[in-house]
Amino acid sequence: MNTADLGLPVDVPSTALFTDQYELTMLQAALKAGTAERRSVFEVFTRRLPEGRRYGVVAGTGRVLDAVENLRFDADVLGFLRERNIVDDETLEWLAGYRFSGDIWGYPEGEVYFPGSPIMRVEGSFAECVLLETVILSILNHDSAIAAAASRMSSAAGERPLIEMGARRTHELAAVAAARAAYIGGFATTSDLAAGFRYGIPTVGTSAHAFTLLHDTERDAFQAQVDSLGRGTTLLVDTYDVAEAVRTAVEVAGPELGAVRIDSGDLLLVAHRVREQLDELGATDTRIVVTSDLDEYAIASLAASPVDAYGVGTQLVTGSGHPTCSMVYKLVARARSADPRAPLVPVAKKSSGGKTSIGGRKWAARRPDAHGVAEAEVVGTGAVPAALADHQLLVELVKGGEVVGREPLDTVRDRHIAARAGLPLSATQLSRGEPVIPTEYVQGLSGN
């Protein structure tokens, strides 16, 4: 079943108004000036990574493709714009027939990126491209921030699986997107059923403290859960006394008990004590799952503990302190006229304060060293050097308005694992540092 085609409540039917008003007022002015149809190139990039991060993760590309397809100005939306007098009748008429007909290239989803990387390149008329700015940035900034946090956490966790469980800590639709991004970054499962329904991500979940408190005794609660879900279930053992709960859990479920979950206390100390107790009780295969406001640093601190899996919520869905990637969407080239044969000329913002940009339609390649490990992100205009031809990063996502780059989520997840493995080993260090490889610029003729 392709749930993306079902109009599910976790989808938004139209993305037309996921925009800032100035995009429509720019469109109106450009239509009046006769410049709206000039061929244009916009690029998404970030000038810097969040402080201390060594690499970024591209996530949200698949959702961007959905958003571009769903950007339609129906009668209700046009009525809203007319009633508020946001744009004139000529612009409303143009919007009524809006369909993106241009091309989009980008880093494949799951790939890593660095400052200046042209993460996405949107080409078409100025009018059709400018309308995509806010929705593209909204998706990429959110999803890439979550995926980057997830990548750091999954690297810290090693082979131990991670459970995404942050739905109650963010907006209900953001939770679905966050679960998708976390899966790309290396998480194994989610507690969010909407994410499982929408994207096919494996879902998990058993019980909370409320279930234990509902029953007259902890033993009654454990027995009810085992009777319902089987001996392989996960029992929450920190409602009252952990040691007593572990003893009761094994008495109720036997040594076949699937797992116990610890949600409070000194996790390192408690995990060791619980592991020792489980082994003494003969439950040597019973796993230990820990939760309790974990982040990548807490996960790393538990590396030497007998923990088998981690559940992460708040810190994940808030980007572990960096909820956005500060990506921008800038015009980098445009034609001299509306003639489709008119050549492109590079354009760039020139200002102080670190907000300058580099003009021209760009390519990107990741140069490996003699051992096949990435040593530089090379970004340029004009012809691609022969030595980098086989290392280019941008792929075609939309061609002539038709999506051509949609991929299964597991393909994206596998790509990220491979991309991260191709970076220098210091990329996964949690200590603060500069981007793990530098960005080099190669200036050439911008071309058409």
Cβ 47 vs Cβ 115: under 8 Å: yes
pTM of structure: 0.94
343 DSSP 8-state letter = P
Residue bearing tokens 């994410």: 195
Could you give the CA distance from residue 336 to residue 244 in angstroms, rounded to a whole number? Answer: 77
Cβ 421 vs Cβ 415: under 8 Å: no
Q: Which tokens go with 245?
A: 């709960």
pLDDT for 447 equals: 47
Q: Residue-wise pLDDT tens for the chain (448 aa)?
A: 444 444 455 555 689 999 999 999 999 999 999 999 999 999 999 999 999 899 999 999 999 999 999 999 999 999 999 999 999 999 999 999 999 999 999 999 999 999 999 999 999 999 999 999 999 999 999 999 999 999 999 999 999 999 999 999 999 999 999 999 999 999 999 999 999 999 999 999 999 999 999 999 999 999 999 999 999 999 999 999 999 999 999 999 999 999 999 999 999 999 999 999 999 999 999 999 999 999 999 999 999 999 999 999 999 999 999 999 999 999 999 999 999 899 999 999 887 666 778 999 999 999 999 999 999 999 999 999 999 999 999 999 999 999 999 999 999 999 999 999 999 999 999 988 899 999 999 987 544 5
pLDDT for 1 equals: 43
